[in-house]
Structure 1
């Protein structure tokens, strides 16, 4: 198995409401099959799929899907970009879980939950500079 993630699928109780949230953040939908709303990302795709259909596709009851403790990270080039993006998310319908603030390891971040509770970290990490196109990797694209 290659060391990569191609697609992240979020199970949604109301796909259109959740998609409207991501649309309000400025994301652009890509054409996709019926029942799936997809957003192409840098090297990946985020899919929104009805929770009942996801359950059916996997072959387990909805209540067996669990509530995994996971977050989705979105890194930015500067510290100053974090708070405005958190505000944009709040204006689009997110719940701010942690306002923008300094982090013990030297970065700056905050967290929000989208309308269905998926948790996003918005961060600036001075130790992981982004590539010119915004690509992220753990040790950055600076001198490594």
Structure 2
């Protein structure tokens, strides 16, 4: 059996150009594999893809039914509280909506939430119990 991996997270977006500008302002780099219908953003070991919301619904053969809270967040883990603050402020300055300002949390860390221009929820967190490997990837214990 192969090792489970997440290779691509695809976000359905209402305005591809706007979303590309937003994520590039946060330091993501678009791949030359991108085209007018999809943007592939390189980030560490994984890829964040931006795809038209309706096109994504059509591809999955689902009805697009926008709602409030989608019960999912994407997390980016920092090496310090200061880095969380830096990422949070950069996202808000790039057009994100502040959802929860960075603060100490019950599990012993520090985190805050923003929503991207399409409402996708991002958590920026510092977890003092997590370590990173030499490549900057989260190194969870076995």
Fold match by TM threshold 0.5: yes
Please tell me the root mean square deviation across aligned C-alpha atoms, in Å: 2.0
> Judging changes above 3 Å, is the alpha-carbon distance between structure 1 residues 137 and 65 closer, same or farther for their aligned structure 2 residues?
farther
* 8 A contact 1:55–1:65 mirrored in 2: no
Contact 2:28 2:43 in 1 (8 A): no
Of 64-73 and 31-40, more deviation after overlay is shown by 64-73
1:29-108 matched pairs, under 5 angstroms: 29-34=30-35, 35-63=37-65, 68-108=70-110
- Structure 1 position 32, deviation (Å): 2.0
Question: Secondary structure at 1:87's aligned position in 2?
Answer: helix
Secondary structure at the aligned position of 2:119 is classed as coil
Q: Secondary structure at the match of 2:89?
A: helix
Match of 1:129 in 2: 131
Q: In the superposition, relative to structure 1, how do residues 20 and 131 fare at CA in structure 2: closer, same or farther (>3 Å)?
A: same
SS at match of 2:75: strand
Equivalenced residues, count? 140
Instruction: Flag structure 1 segments of 5+ consecutive residues without an equivalent.
Output: none
Q: TM-score scaled by structure 1?
A: 0.88
d(CA) in 1 for partners of 2:106, 2:65: 36
Q: What's the TM-score once normalised by structure 2's chain length?
A: 0.89
Deviates more, 1:44-53 or 1:65-74: 65-74
Please give the per-residue CA displacement for 1:76-134, whole angstroms capped at 9, x wherever unaligned.
11122111211110000001111111111111111100011000000111100122321
Structure 2 residue runs without a partner (length 5+): none
* 1:12 is the counterpart of 2:13: yes
